[in-house]
Amino acid sequence: MRKRSVTIDGHRTSISLEDAFWTELSGLARARGLSLNALVAEIDHARGAPQSVNTGGNLSSALRLHVLEELKKAQRD
């Protein structure tokens, strides 16, 4: 488990995730031409949206679910 600080809307917050999730998130951000902070902020903003699978949980859970969804999507393609 690794704790990292990220900035979301100008506010610093710490997130604890397993190294494998940090690695996947970094790869997803890089593939989209985003910084890790920008991707985390995007996921954070989306987790309140009604159509999001990431609703209702904390940010760490939302990040894990995002990675899982992206991996499943890539597997279908």
Q: What is the pLDDT of residue 23?
A: 97
The CATH number for 13's domain is 1.10.1220.10
* Mean pLDDT confidence for 24-52: 90
What domain range is 43 assigned to? 2-76
For the segment 52-70, the average pLDDT, to the nearest whole number, is 83
pLDDT of residue 54: 58
**pLDDT (average), residues 34-53:** 84
pLDDT at residue 56 tops 70: no
* Count of domains forming the chain: 1
* 40 confidence band (pLDDT: 50, 70, 90): very high
- 49 CB-contact burial (10 Å; exposed 0-12 / middle 13-18 / buried 19+): exposed
What's the farthest any 2 CA atoms get from each other in the chain? 36
Structure tokens at 14: 């710490």
Mean pLDDT, range 19-36, rounded to an integer: 97
| Cα four-point dihedral sign 6, 71, 34, 56 | negative
